[in-house]
Chains A and B, each alone.
Chain A
Amino acid sequence: MAAAGAALGVAGRPSFSFAKEEYDLAVISGEPVAATKKALEVFGGISRFVKKGIRVVLKPNMSFARTPDVGTTTHPLVVATVAEACIRAGARQVLILDYTLHRAELCLERTGIREACRNISGVYVQAVQERKFFKEIPIPQGKVLDRVEVIKEVLDCDVLINLPVAKSHSATGVSLGIKGLMGLIWDRESFHSRVNINHALSDLATVIKPQLTILDATRALTTGGPGGPGKVIKTDLIIAGTDPVAVDSYGVSIAPWYGQNFKGRQVEHLLFAHQRGMGKIDTDQLKIYKGTL
């Protein structure tokens, strides 16, 4: 179990093999672009997930009309790096989507994500705020939710890559990958008022399953989340993996949240997701590639 803070400077295991399924997680310390590239490399390159001619949806957090330094939204360079890698791997189309809390055009502008992706052809940054772009699907294994309306494009795409940002959250403790999935659904109010949000999130994770989660932990908003402003700790990490619970669980360990250290197990929605078989939660049982650039 990694200690809290940003002291992950040690190089991990020898990097003689980047074979498939070799690692559960890639934890790379470094600048956003280089660290993201390296993380993809650990998993055998983006082409493992993105085949020629397919349609990819990237789901960063661009829900708030705030600049990247506030730590409420995914770093634009992380988004652009992944988007570009997808295009290089031959993706026909990369859609960067989020249902934003603040006004769409302002989120696109302020987060810097539209600007960062402007010159990559085949990449489209879209914020949706209208119900007509959503489609209802059932949640067969739902405990508190039996159906949910999801952005159509997410249901139609070939690959979904989740690009959350690491931040605190006053209802769910942390907002990482699984919490970030709420940005793809229409009715979020009921998560707060009608049902228990932690159960609802694990229900949601049974139907929206990103093939890859790349957690932007280049900085962590450790208080005042999810909207900020709050205390931003520079963590300089990119955490990637195919297991959404594992990525989030590791993400919990990188910084003290509200001044306290937690484990993934102590985050209710992650624990529920783990208990329902959606991923590994104990980071000491994970095979982690650690790298410093």
Chain B
Amino acid sequence: MRTIVQALSLLLFSLLFFLATYKLPDWLLADIYLRLDPLLGLNAIFAAREVIGRSLWGLVTIGATLLIGRFFCGYICPMGISIDFLNHLFFRKKKYKILKTETSLRKAKYLLLIVFVMAAITGLSLAFLMDPIALLTRFYTFFIYPLAITLINLLLDLIRPLSKALGWITLTHLHYFQPVFYMSAITLLIFGGIIALNLLAPRFWCRYLCPLGAMLSLISPLGIFKRRVSEECNECKKCQKNCPMGAILDDPRKTHLQECFQCRTCVHVCPQNAITFPASLSIGGEYSKIDLSRRGFIYSLAGGLGVGFLATHTPFTRLQGKHHLIRAPGAIPETEFLRTCIRCGECMKSCLTNTLQPCLWESGFSGLWTPKMDLRLAPCDQNCNVCGKVCPTQAIRSVSLEEKNHAKVGTAILLKEKCLVWAQNKICLICDEICPYNAIVFRPVEGYGRPFVIASKCNGCGFCEQRCPVLGDSAIVVVPDGEIRLKEGSYVVEAKKLQLEFKADPGDDKFILEGSGFKLDGDTGEKKKVKY
């Protein structure tokens, strides 16, 4: 029963993850797992210092935990499920001994929780580091997703001769876009580390480290289902040995209520059938206390504040006003963005063109894993607004396509020393050809049509930067100058106010004959010298 629920939950998580892409229907809450995570919600609300609508979904999880107990970890959490599954795969035969440091390790997750909450209070979004849903979404985005596409394409390549022979035209031409990401390796190492910890204890992560588990365990003793052991118990301790969370005490009749996630393994293994999980309204009892040492408490409190102080008081912070990164269209102003973003990676997963990439150190520690646009790699598609739709904290606002296309992310500038037309008199028009807004026009300079950028028509989509045929850095690059970052209100209205127009203005191409592909002395053929 639990395995089935777990399998379904992981399946749903994976399905929603893979559906988070263009063209996500508005009604489909692809980011629901992230929204339901109360730690991420609390983190975002504290760090951003405001109530975020989508984060309130976390209350559902809180409410359910208050009602039922810490079932989330045992049944719903896709990270827990992945750990269970991989544990079964790799460490099934492993014999575990109880760790000597068991008691102090159990406190670790609470101390970490305090660190994260304190960091959030200083305005540093940090919970992403260890929040299981954010961690797993990142792992899926940066590793599982690219790997899955590679495998699917490999399979398609393998069966391609067959599909061709059988006349399956669509299959013959099917090829999925291969996403690539910076920081895939780091993300894999972190996930691998979490799984490897199972060598020490089953669900090591959930027992000792998971801050979300810690948060839920604080209220789980209030849940109505509690383990009860009847008189039949003969103290064989089979339940204790099998409990994946180590929630059963030396006296097998007693339970760490905050650790028990109600998997009911004990019920099934008990030879005496002595264990039940009846509904009861009693609260907690003596084994539901969390015994944090005062020193640990104060250290973690100070630690969280310290990390928050260090990370939010760096030159990067002061430079936030003139940051050099191009953020996703609809991203709220930089400081708020860094506070609100929970670095789940969902926007980068959903990005149609793969332009959204994780930051490493580009904007310091407080910008780790935040999305930036790498416009040399890929442009921002003007038919897609999915990154905002899937953002669980609305650090990237979910807005209509028209609004999104007015959420200017930057402005293209032309580097004349690099541009083939300016520097070498070559016939190149790729930036003009690909620009969706005719923001690049050709004007006669020294007898040649040369490209110019009309800044008021450029919304920074980056098609020009990506397509520029110059090797290395593009001869036309998008810089954040002129970006529109709004916390609320309409980008269309703001763009109008700034007299920007991302639309056709057909009269702006100044036609000049030279290099136009037309020539008036056509009859004489190749009289004019051809430039290579």
Name which of B184-192, B230-238, B403-411, B423-431 contacts chain A.
Answer: B423-431
Complex: A272 Cα to B528 Cα, angstroms? 13
User: Smallest distance from the beta carbon of B165 to chain A beta carbons, Å?
Assistant: 13
The minimal Cβ–Cβ distance linking B162 to chain A, given in whole angstroms, is 16
A170 touches B381 (CB 8 A): no
A260-288: CB near B (< 8 Å → 1, else 0) gives: 10110111110110010000000000000
Contact yes or no, A257 B518, CB < 8 A: yes
Asked if A196 and B504 sit within 8 Å, CB to CB, the answer is no
396-424 of chain B: CB within 8 A of chain A: 420
The answer on a CB contact under 8 Å between B169 and A95 is yes
Query: Which residues of B have CB within 8 Å of A260?
Result: 511, 518
A224 and B433 CA atoms in complex are apart in Å by 8
Question: Which residue from A65, A110, A171, A265 sits with its C-beta under 8 Å from B523?
Answer: A265
Per-position contact with A for B443-476: 1 when CB-CB < 8 Å, else 0? 0000001000000000000000000011000000
In the complex the two chains form, is A268's CB within 8 Å of B428's CB?
A: no
In the complex, how many angstroms separate the beta carbon of B531 from the nearest chain A beta carbon?
Answer: 7
In the assembled complex, how far is the CB of residue B143 from the closest CB belonging to chain A, in whole angstroms?
Answer: 23
Q: Are A227 and B506 in contact, with the CB atoms below 8 A?
A: no
Q: State the Cβ distance, A232 to closest chain B Cβ, in Å.
A: 8
Partner of A196, one of B175, B427, B429: B427
Contact with A along B171-190 (1 / 0, CB 8 A): 00101010000000000000
For residue B489, CB closer than 8 A to chain A, the reply is no
Complexed CA–CA distance, A224 and B509 (Å): 7
Could you tell me if B520 and A266 are in contact, using CB atoms closer than 8 angstroms? yes
In the assembled complex, the Cα of A263 lies from the Cα of B523 at a distance in Å of 11
Contacts of B315 in A (CB 8 A): none
Contact: A224 with B506, CB < 8 Å? yes
| Complex interface bits, B78-115 against A, C-beta within 8 A gives 1, otherwise 0 | 00000000000000000000000000000000000000
Known: A171-B517, A230-B506. A271 touches B522 (CB 8 A): yes
Contact (Cβ within 8 A) B469 A193: yes
Identify the interface centre among A126, A128, A266: most chain B CB within 10 Å of its CB. Answer: A266
Judge if A231 is at the interface, Cβ distance under 8 Å: yes
Stretch at the interface among B217-225, B259-267, B359-367, B434-442: B434-442
Question: Given contacts A103-B353, A126-B169, is CB(A228)–CB(B519) below 8 Å?
Answer: no
**Contact partners of B169 in chain A: CB under 8 A:** 93, 95, 124, 126
Indicate if the CB atoms of B442 and A170 lie closer than 8 Å: yes
The reply to whether A103 and B522 form a contact with Cβ atoms under 8 Å apart is no
A106 within 8 A of B: yes
Asked if B336 is at the interface of the complex by the 8 Å CB criterion, the answer is no
Q: CB distance B173 to A65 under 8 Å?
A: no
- B76 CB-CB contact with A under 8 Å: no
Could you tell me if A229 and B504 are in contact, using CB atoms closer than 8 angstroms?
yes
* B515 → chain A closest CB, angstroms: 8
Given A262-B518, A268-B518, A268-B519, residue A192 in contact with residue B428 (CB < 8 A)? yes
B432 touches A170 (CB 8 A): yes
Residue of B nearest to A156 (CB): B164
Encode contact with B along A150-192: 1 for CB under 8 Å, 0 otherwise.
0000000000000000000111111000000000000001101
Query: CA A50 – CA B33 in complex, angstroms?
Result: 55
B170 contacts partner chain A, Cβ-Cβ < 8 Å: yes
What DSSP secondary structure best describes chain B's contact surface? loop
Interface size counted on chain A using CB atoms at 8 A? 57
The reply to whether B525 and A171 form a contact with Cβ atoms under 8 Å apart is no
Q: Give A95 to B173 CA distance when docked, in angstroms.
A: 11
Closest B residue to A263 using CB positions: B522
The size class of the interface chain B forms with chain A is: 35 or more
Name the one of B428, B509, B518 contacting A173, with C-beta atoms under 8 angstroms.
Answer: B518
Q: Are B522 and A227 in contact (CB under 8 A)?
A: no
Q: A65 touches which one: B383, B470, B507, B518 (CB < 8 A)? A: B383
Complex CA gap A263/B521 in Å reads: 11
Residue of A nearest to B503 (CB): A229
Question: With A124-B169, A132-B157, A275-B525 in contact, do A170 and B516 touch (Cβ < 8 Å)?
Answer: yes
Closest Cβ of chain B to A198, distance in Å, is 6
B517 to chain A, nearest CB (A): 3
Residues from chain B with Cβ under 8 Å of A227 in the complex: 432-436
**CB-based contact B518/A267 at 8 Å:** yes
Interface: A11 (CB within 8 A): no
Q: Chain A 213-240, CB within 8 Å of chain B: the 1/0 string?
A: 0000000000110111111100000000
Query: Which residues, 87 to 108 on A, are CB-close (under 8 Å) to B?
Result: 93, 95, 101-103, 105-106
Assembled-state Cα–Cα distance A275/B523 (Å):
10
Question: When the two chains form the complex, which single residue of A128, A196, A199, A268 contacts B173, counting CB atoms closer than 8 Å?
Answer: A128
Q: How far is the CA of A272 from the CA of B519 in the complex (A)?
A: 12
B27 adjacent to chain A (CB < 8 Å): no
In the assembled complex, how far is the CB of residue B267 from the closest CB belonging to chain A, in whole angstroms? Answer: 50
In the bound complex, CA of A231 to CA of B511 (Å): 13
Given contacts A170-B429, A173-B518, is CB(A195)–CB(B506) below 8 Å? no
Is B507 in contact with A223, judged by CB distance below 8 angstroms?
A: yes
Cα distance A210–B503 in the bound complex, in angstroms: 35
CB distance from B159 to the nearest CB of A (A): 14
B531 touches A196 (CB 8 A): yes
Known: A265-B522, A268-B519. A144 touches B507 (CB 8 A): no
Docked-complex contact B438 and A228, CB < 8 angstroms: yes
Q: Which residues of A contact B520 (CB under 8 A)?
A: 266
Chain A residues near B469 (CB-CB < 8 A): 189-190, 192-193
Most buried by B among A95, A103, A262: A103
Instruction: Find chain A residues with CB under 8 A from B166 CB.
Output: none
Asked if residues A103 and B517 are in contact (CB atoms below 8 Å), the reply is no
Whether B170 contacts A192 by the Cβ 8 Å rule is: no
A146 CB to nearest chain B CB (Å): 14
Interface residues of B in 305-355 (CB under 8 A from A): 352-353
Q: Which 10 A-B pairs have the closest CB atoms?
A: A229-B504, A173-B517, A258-B511, A231-B506, A172-B517, A265-B522, A124-B169, A173-B518, A266-B522, A170-B429
8 A–B contacts, CB within 8 A, in A order? A128-B173, A129-B177, A171-B429, A189-B430, A192-B426, A227-B435, A231-B507, A258-B509
What would 12 more interface pairs be, CB under 8 Å, given A103-B177, A192-B420, A230-B438? A65-B382, A95-B169, A132-B175, A190-B469, A193-B469, A193-B470, A197-B517, A223-B507, A227-B435, A230-B506, A262-B518, A271-B525
* Chain B residues packing against A (C-beta within 8 Å): 22, 157, 167, 169-170, 173, 175, 177, 352-353, 381-384, 420, 426-430, 432-438, 442, 449, 469-470, 503-507, 509, 511, 515-520, 522-523, 525-526, 530-532
